[in-house]
Amino acid sequence: MTQQTAGRAGSQTRDPWRYRWIVLGIATFTQAASGFFVGGIGALGVHLQRALDLSLAQLGLLVSAAQLVPLAGLLVAGELLDRYSERWVVGIGAGVVALALGAGSLAPGYAALLGALLVVGAGYSTVQPGGSKSVASWFDASQRGFAMGIRQAGLPLGAALASAVLPLVAEEFGWRATLLTGGFVALLGAVLFMGCYRPPPALPASQQGKKPSDPLAAQLRARLRMLREPSTVKIMLSGTSLISVQCGVGILTVLHLHQVSSVGAGQAALILVVSQGAGVAGRICLAAWSDRSRSGRYAIVLVCMVAVIAGLAVLMTPAGRTPVVASGVFVWLGFFGFGWYGPWVAYVTEAAPPGKTGFALGLSMSVNQIAIVTVPPTLGLLVDLTGSFTPAWALLSLLTAVALAVTANAERRTR
């Protein structure tokens, strides 16, 4: 056999599923790029408060603005993903994020900036469920948790990079330049995903974008049945409680360290970066653990809830005011308070009915959005009214404890 013939034979027998690692890479990058600016708002808290004369509640509202439209947008995105290729749904959504951030850099004040972030949320609605669905379709159950963990690590990874870069940009060029930077990064993610994503070989091109043939009434009944499933109840309760903790850590870490523990603003932002880096490791490690856990994926989510409650309890003690202990707790909360998302998303994809993965992801994430929208301003208002961070940490601890008690009992009954 000649070398040329051998080369052709090798190319024909090459495993097409190897491309899944490229899909994983571009989905992770697009996730990080699209959430880059919003993930870094917590580290910009001191700069934004000073430049725009904001209260802590107003700062929390900025975070919520980018998450308001996804309340409905995630459900729409889920439907689109069950009908059309992730390539275009995710790519166009990331492009909208880039354009909105570019326009936001021209905002004359606080109100216009809120409006720009609302549009950012509309575009971002497609990225979370779309990237998760693309990875789930390329990886089988034996590697899905690990792959999903890597992909979901894109969010804290992007937030960690943003927390390191955006304060420097704001210090040197002003807050408007941070939006331009975030828009450029999001545009890179959009171009990469649209240019490189391909559907898995198990799904022929003729089936991509095929619309459901069931009547609309039957589709609605199927979706309502999903809401009554025990797995859906566990998904929603655990998701909303843990995403609330994630929001609290993202927006309050720098302020707690700076105001309570007397840590400098720059060093406090660095600790937030380390905490988010721990979240990256948590999403990968905990999701990989869920691939091998005999107790199932949801057991790992329960472990995260217990760990989060323990960390929040320490923050409410006098020891939680010392710089060393507080910094260690925030890294702990980063690992478990961000890391839960990897096994949780893998559990959502596997609990979804056949052909309804996109809708299941959109539904679960839209319920999380309720917490994402309401928690930051609520926590900010609590701190403004009481002058203390303890009530905020106590509220997050209570929400997680209630969700843990209810879902752990449901998990036992299921077993």
Over residues 162-183, the pLDDT tens digits come to: 888 888 898 888 888 988 999 9
The reply to whether 10 falls in a domain is no
User: How many angstroms separate the CA atoms of 129 and 23, rounded?
Assistant: 15
Q: Is residue 216 over pLDDT 80?
A: no
The per-residue pLDDT for range 309-321, each reduced to its tens digit, is 999 999 999 988 8
Task: Among 136-150, 212-226, 247-261, 375-389, name the one with the lowest average pLDDT.
Answer: 212-226
The reply to whether 305 falls in a domain is yes
Total-model pTM: 0.69
pLDDT band at 411 (very low <50, low <70, confident <90, very high): low
Count of domains observed in the chain: 1
| Dihedral (Cα; 142, 147, 148, 154), 10-degree rounding | 170
What is the domain extent for residue 258?
A: 20-199+221-414
CB 222 within 8 A of CB 353: yes
The reply to whether 130 falls in a domain is yes
The reply to whether 407 falls in a domain is yes
84, containing H or E segment:
none
The reply to whether 9 falls in a domain is no
The reply to whether 1 falls in a domain is no
Expressed in angstroms, the distance from the first to the final Cα of the chain is: 58
DSSP secondary structure of 235-269: HHHHHHHHHHHHHHHHHHHHHHHHHTS---HHHHH
The per-residue pLDDT for range 391-400, each reduced to its tens digit, is 999 999 999 9
The per-residue pLDDT for range 369-386, each reduced to its tens digit, is 788 778 888 888 898 888
Give the long-range contacts of residues 372-375, CB within 8 A, separation 24 or more.
372/63, 372/64, 372/67, 372/70, 372/243, 372/247, 373/64, 373/67, 373/68, 373/71, 374/64, 375/243, 375/244, 375/247, 375/248
Structure token digits, residue 322: 């010392």
The stretch 143-165 carries a mean pLDDT of 81
The reply to whether 400 falls in a domain is yes
User: How many angstroms separate the CA atoms of 237 and 234, rounded?
Assistant: 5
pLDDT band at 413 (very low <50, low <70, confident <90, very high): low
The reply to whether 77 falls in a domain is yes
Q: Is residue 113 over pLDDT 70?
A: yes
The stretch 273-302 carries a mean pLDDT of 86
Give residue 412's pLDDT.
Answer: 67
CB 380 within 8 A of CB 251: yes
CATH number for the domain spanning 96: value is 1.20.1250.20
